[in-house]
Structure 1
């Protein structure tokens, strides 16, 4: 279950939900599936949702598992 997505959906207006879904290349229904824990957004979709919401939704909030792996691999490359 994605609490960040649940909270965002509660406060977002219907036009805002439509705009963000369209900008991310998905549907509002899929956003609700993410919020309910029935689906997990891909890394690419997480990036698009973060951009479309201007950071209200974050990659780390949507997919903490992938975000942790991504940041670990970047720190290993930099070392």
Structure 2
């Protein structure tokens, strides 16, 4: 983790965040307990805390675990 970067806090919707797993920066759209609808029901899938992010400037939304998110000091909300 870089100096001046926060990790252990809940982000605000619309806030910029770094996904440390992919190296991408995105806008937080939501963080919720999510069950992938593509998983077979007979496996009794359990919800996983998931962060949904949109790329800054537009593009395809992606998901990551909230533990992979970091918030630079200038990560104010975009709205």
Higher share in helix:
1
Higher share in strand:
2
- TM normalised by structure 2 equals 0.22
Greater RCO (CA < 8 Å, at least 6 residues apart)? 2
Larger Rg over CA atoms: 2
- TM normalised by structure 1 equals 0.22
